[in-house]
Amino acid sequence: MGFSTKAIHAGVEPDPFTGSIMTPIHLTSTYVQEELGKHKGYEYSRVSNPTRTVLERNIAALENGREGLAFASGMAAETAIFHLLKAGDHVIVSRNVYGGTYRVGKLVLDSYNLDFEFVDTTDLQTIKKAIRPNTKMVFIETPTNPTMEITDLAAVAKLCQSRKLVSVVDNTFATPYLQNPLEYGLDIVVHSATKYLNGHSDMLGGLIVLNDPQLIERLRFIQKSVGGILSPFEAWLCIRGIKTLAVRMDRSCANAMEVALYLSRHRKVKKVNYPGLVSHPQHRLAQKQMRGFGGMISFDLGTLENAKKLLKSVRLCALAESLGGVETLISHPATMTHASIPLEERNRIGVTDGLVRISVGIEDVEDILADLKKALAAI
């Protein structure tokens, strides 16, 4: 079954009572049981809900995994994954991960004696050197947010298997349409469903997909116990959004390539980070493990003042947090998504004051380019 067919149909069945082709929104907290110990598979909506079940089965099919779990946000999903750890454990994390991942690791979970170390995961030797006797997990993001670094999925999977480490991949930027980390041997895939999976900037959600029965059982228990679950309405919005994921990603990727090429030739742009460009350090690796280069680009304008001028001048490109919607969104990582990271660390990993991130939408690319051209002229 092809990807688009799975996106539309996997896990989705017509409603047995009405024949409704769209999954119903089951707005209920509890379920009547026929007798003690006998029910229809549902007892309480924190544990499971029919609408959420459809989404979980759908994302599992798209990632070619055994089971999916849905959470209230991407960070709720990541936090559930970190609940697999115990006090004293060490976690290796990609240095350019989303600022929220840094924040929960260094500013929240460190107080529970979990040790998060952020390293350059594009270099396998750097990962190897970072491994300690108490290392339990390697958490990578590829492409990274916002500098678009690419980590070798197969190499990390092999290393983690040999050292008996749990391997986790944030696949938000690529989506299952462009890469499937589980097929390379990684243990867990996590998504911010808020972004490309939903695709319409109208919900929050997080998704996890995995194969290992023991990890599935533990994460199900954590999901039920901690309770950061996705609501039925949010699940329905995500189910609806995923149906058009393939066509949206095709358009976003095509637009992003044109935007990246335009920016790379502009004299006011110091550097462009986009894996589709031959100049990208891991361009060949991206070609190997991805089926497209995505819709995310970051580019450096040299100074904070230049970034401010551009962001004040755009009109079509909306200055806003988040990414992955049908509309083009533009942001300033240093003061928005990555503001919780100390200045010295931001500069070290390339999240400079002049760096701008753009989530290229599916508008007519000529209009996106015209907006950027006018904004760059203001610098």
> What DSSP string describes 153-220?
HHHHHHHHHHHT-EEEEE-TTTHHHH--GGGGT-SEEEEETTTTTT-SS----EEEEE--HHHHHHHH
Is the C-alpha dihedral spanning 101, 102, 106, 108 positive or negative?
negative
Q: Which of 6, 136, 195, 308 is catalytic?
A: 195
Give residue 38's pLDDT: 84
* CB distance 328 to 335 below 8 Å: no
Provide, rounded to the nearest whole percent, the portion of the chain with pLDDT above 70: 100
Backbone angles phi, psi at 166, to 5 degrees: -75, 125
Q: For 3-242, CATH number? A: 3.40.640.10
Predicted TM-score (pTM) above 0.85: yes
* HSE value, Cβ hemisphere, 13 Å, CA-based, for 256: 33
- Residue 136 CA to residue 86 CA, distance in Å, equals 9
Is the C-alpha dihedral spanning 158, 160, 162, 166 positive or negative?
negative
Residue 268 has pLDDT above 90, yes or no: yes
Which of the four pLDDT bands, split at 50, 70 and 90, describes residue 269? very high
Give residue 195's pLDDT: 98
Give residue 41's pLDDT: 86
Give, in words, the CATH class of 246-377.
alpha beta
Per the annotation, the verdict on 195 as an active-site residue is yes
Give residue 319's pLDDT: 98
Q: Classify strands 206-210 and 67-71 as parallel, antiparallel or unpaired.
A: antiparallel
pLDDT digits (tens, 9 = 90+) for 118-172: 999 999 999 999 999 999 999 999 999 999 999 999 999 999 999 999 999 999 9
- Edge-to-edge order in the sheet of strand 271-273: 271-273, 296-300, 355-359, 329-331, 318-319
Residues 6+ apart with CB under 8 A from 279: 264, 272
* CB distance 164 to 133 below 8 Å: no
Give residue 30's pLDDT: 95
Q: Which of 46, 103, 158, 270 is catalytic?
A: 46
Give residue 68's pLDDT: 98
Q: How many CB atoms lie within 10 A of CB 369?
A: 17
Radius of gyration of the chain from Cα atoms? 21
Q: How many CB atoms lie within 10 A of CB 343?
A: 12
Q: 3-state SS string over 334-368?
A: CCCCCCCCCHHHHHHHCCCCCEEEEECCCCCHHHH
Residue 307 has pLDDT above 90, yes or no: yes
Residue 256 has pLDDT above 90, yes or no: yes
pLDDT digits (tens, 9 = 90+) for 25-53: 999 999 999 888 888 889 999 999 999 99
What is the rounded average pLDDT for all residues in the chain?
Answer: 97
Give residue 324's pLDDT: 98
Per the annotation, the verdict on 170 as an active-site residue is yes
Tell me what the mean pLDDT of segment 246-256 comes to.
Answer: 98
Q: Which of 170, 187, 353, 371 is catalytic?
A: 170
Give residue 39's pLDDT: 86
- Residue 101 CA to residue 74 CA, distance in Å, equals 10
Q: 3-state SS string over 271-302?
A: EEECCCCCCCCCHHHHHHHCCCCCCEEEEECC
Per the annotation, the verdict on 218 as an active-site residue is no
Among 218, 271, 261, smallest CA distance to 369 is for 261
Tell me what the mean pLDDT of segment 75-97 comes to.
Answer: 97
Looking only at Cα atoms, what is the longest distance across the chain? 73
Q: Which of 52, 89, 98, 353 is catalytic?
A: 98
Which of the four pLDDT bands, split at 50, 70 and 90, describes residue 88? very high
Every domain of the chain and the residues it spans? 3-242, 246-377
Residue 101 has pLDDT above 90, yes or no: yes
Give residue 16's pLDDT: 87
Q: Classify strands 329-331 and 206-210 as parallel, antiparallel or unpaired.
A: unpaired
